[in-house]
């Protein structure tokens, strides 16, 4: 994970704890199974929408600005605020809304499975009251951004770096999928992350300043890709 993407982290003990936890939770090695999901990217590559570095970064930039990345960041912020206020009903409602906004069966599976796995790993290794509450109320269907928001609030992590780290992990996983699917070289994968830095920073800042009224998107091609992926003849990914 690129530590430069974690904003507003200070050098005091609290800042170091924030950085350490976010790097631990949102690294590819954290057991949420993110590598199994392409978020519809597999279909987009198959039909030629994504065929090189530029088309990959353009697709992911759009997800951050007007697609699922935009909405997930807002939902994470909503969950963080609810857990910070110990408003467990509001947290439960944020989870229900996040799941309801999934545009396809596989995208619902993607967020619910990762959210459940994230919450289970946090509860086992980094327990906090907020995660216990979301597990009790949502059961096995926990939206991933809501789980991250609840855990970060439960550990007194600041919202800004949490959203930035989450979005960095989101695009890093999809860049990794693109490297395998297009295929691209590892150097192009790093170039993609460089190209997306400003988009991640902007999306994170917008999410922190937004509320649920700002939810919405226009990344219809990505949503269609998620639906089409269900019937692809050959598949490497679960979404």
pTM for this model (two decimals): 0.93
Rounded-to-integer distance, Cα 63 and Cα 66, Å: 6
Phi, psi angle pair for 209, to nearest 5°: -90, 5
Q: Is the pLDDT of residue 3 over 50?
A: no
Q: Degrees (nearest 5) of the Cα angle 98, 126, 21? A: 80
The predicted-structure confidence for 39-57, as pLDDT tens digits, reads as follows 999 999 999 999 999 999 9
Using 50, 70 and 90 to split pLDDT, how confident is the model at 144? very high
* Alpha carbon distance 201, 182 (integer Å): 26
Please state the three-class secondary structure of 137-161 as a single string. Answer: HHCCCCCHHHHHHHHHHHCCCCHHH
Q: What is the mean pLDDT of residues 34-38?
A: 94
pLDDT above 50: residue 7: no
C-alpha count within 13 angstroms, C-beta hemisphere, residue 219: 27
pLDDT at 121 > cutoff 80: yes
Q: Match 């609840």 to its residue by tokens.
A: 150
Give percent of the chain with pLDDT exceeding 70: 95
pLDDT one-digit tens code per residue, 11-30: 456 788 899 999 999 998 89
All structural domains of the chain, each given as residue ranges with its CATH number in brackets, are: 39-229 (1.10.4190.10)
How far apart are the C-alpha atoms of 79 and 54, rounded to whole Å? Answer: 33
Q: For residue 231, what pLDDT is reported?
A: 93
Check whether 88 has a pLDDT greater than 90.
yes
| Residue with more model confidence, 11 or 58 | 58
Tell me the C-alpha distance between 156 and 120, whole Å.
Answer: 19
Residue 146 tokens, joined: 């809501």
* Mean of pLDDT over the chain: 93
Query: What is the pLDDT averaged over residues 195-206?
Result: 98
């Amino acid at each position: 994970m690129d530590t430069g993407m974690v904003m507003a982290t200070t050098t005091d003990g609290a800042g170091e704890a924030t950085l350490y936890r976010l790097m631990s939770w949102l690294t590819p090695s954290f057991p949420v199974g993110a590598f199994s999901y392409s978020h519809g990217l597999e279909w987009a590559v198959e039909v030629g929408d994504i065929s090189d570095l530029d088309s990959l970064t353009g697709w992911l930039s759009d997800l951050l600005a007007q697609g699922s990345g935009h909405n997930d960041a807002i939902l994470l912020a909503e969950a963080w605020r609810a857990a910070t206020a110990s408003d467990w009903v509001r947290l439960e409602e944020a989870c229900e809304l996040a799941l309801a906004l999934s545009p396809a069966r596989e995208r619902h599976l993607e967020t619910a499975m990762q959210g459940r796995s994230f919450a289970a790993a946090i509860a086992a290794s980094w327990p906090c009251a907020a995660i216990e509450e979301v597990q009790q109320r949502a059961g096995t269907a926990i939206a991933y951004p809501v789980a991250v928001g609840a855990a970060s609030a439960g550990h007194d992590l600041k919202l800004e770096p949490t959203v930035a780290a989450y979005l960095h992990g989101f695009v890093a996983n999809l860049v990794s999928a693109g490297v395998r699917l297009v295929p691209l070289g590892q150097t192009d994968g790093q170039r993609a992350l460089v190209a997306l830095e400003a988009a991640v920073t902007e999306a994170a800042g917008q999410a922190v300043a937004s509320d649920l009224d700002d939810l919405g998107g226009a990344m219809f091609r990505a949503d269609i890709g998620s639906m089409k992926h269900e019937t692809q003849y050959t598949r490497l990914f679960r979404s």
